[in-house]
Amino acid sequence: MEPRDVVAVGGSAGSLGPLRELTAALPPDLPGSVLVTMHVGEHARSRLPWLLSRSGPLPATHAEAGERLRPGRVYVAPPGCHLLVPCGVVELSNGPKVNRTRPAVDAMFASAARWFGDQVVAVVLSGWLDDGAVGAALVAQAGGLVVVQDPKDAAQSSMPRATLAAAPGAVEAPAGQLGELVAGMLGEGGLAAWPRPKQPEVSEVSMEDSSNLQFLSPDETRLTRLACPDCGGALAEIVLPQITYYRCHVGHQFGPQSLAVAQVEAAEAKLWSAVATLEETAALARHLASHTDLGDDAAGQRGRTADWAAGLAESLRAEVGDGRPRGSAEVAGGGQA
């Protein structure tokens, strides 16, 4: 059998410690490449490669576009770029955000699943919401293996729990056991002999090449009436056996929990925009009423418009409050601990 030769590791809040434990336990002659995506700000200065190089025997660097993957090395997604691996060559993508983040774990997992199929071990560590769950499901569908930090061992259990729901065959382990477990999945022995179902090929089709106004990519199930929180485009639904996710034709993609939170944030932004518009309407109406010879009737109408807009703005501002409905994080799944 061919060896599994790509380990893809993703995490968010609370994942640095487990990631360092994992890499510290990997052997120096690891017969596979390690890809790492952690949620970082797009303009952050990341010292993660330096930390990982000091944690274990494998050299870690920020991935560089065009380099070919080599075994026994750790490739870290740099801030602001998705880490993709077409044909085993690093591609750093500035494409649409996935789950409102770039780099995203789902983007890395999906690329690894597409190009390496059953030679992938996907590892999900501590983190908020559900980035990684869809990608883990795709890895499992391609015949790869999925390993998840035990939610009870994770500082933030939402990402591990979402992944376990999306990939029910995933192996759970505490952080201290992940490195040994993953190393045993590579090469000819150990868990590399597990059954490997093949993922069906999905051709790439873009909306601009289609005349169909109800355009769907081959992997998309149906259109919805939901709008993308990032660009306003229509969202298509993609249904996998254990998880459903959403993508607009531009390429913004959301797991269910991430979409719920994104919609709350988009609604908040629209409400504050409405407050601003109403307050500006009131101010303009009062300005015109006091600085323009409109006659008593027109001035009175301007005054009533100003009062209406100001009253509605005040009510809306009070209703929006801190910008989040109570319990929204818990409903979206981000409140799990």
Q: In terms of Cα–Cα distance, which of 17, 4, 49 is closest to 187?
A: 4
Structural domain including 229 reads: 213-254
Q: What is the pTM of this model?
A: 0.84
Cβ atoms within 10 A of the Cβ of 261, count?
A: 24
Note whether residue 206 is domain-resident: no
Note whether residue 21 is domain-resident: yes
Active site residue 39: yes
User: Choosing from 39, 82, 249, 252, which is the catalytic residue?
Assistant: 39
User: Choosing from 5, 118, 130, 131, which is the catalytic residue?
Assistant: 131
Gap between the Cα atoms of 54 and 317, Å rounded: 50
Task: Report the domain count for the chain.
Answer: 3
Residue 91's beta-bridge partner residues?
84
Task: Give per-residue burial for 162-174: e unless 16+ CB within 10 Å, then b.
Answer: bbbbbbeebbbbe
Q: Are residues 22 and 132 in the same domain?
A: yes
Active site residue 131: yes
Q: Are residues 183 and 74 in the same domain?
A: yes
Note whether residue 29 is domain-resident: yes
Taking only the tens place, the pLDDT of each residue in 97-115 is 999 999 999 999 999 999 9
Q: Are residues 70 and 146 in the same domain?
A: yes
Taking only the tens place, the pLDDT of each residue in 270-328 is 999 999 999 999 999 998 888 767 666 777 888 899 999 999 999 999 888 755 554 44
Q: Are residues 150 and 122 in the same domain?
A: yes
Gap between the Cα atoms of 148 and 166, Å rounded: 11
Active site residue 82: no
Note whether residue 96 is domain-resident: yes
Mean pLDDT by 10 residues, the chain (337 residues): 77 97 95 95 87 96 96 96 95 96 97 94 97 97 95 97 96 96 78 46 56 77 94 95 94 96 92 94 90 72 92 91 51 37
State the DSSP code for 13.
T
Q: Are residues 171 and 264 in the same domain?
A: no
Task: Give per-residue burial for 49-73: e unless 16+ CB within 10 Å, then b.
Answer: beebeebbebebebbeeeeebeebb
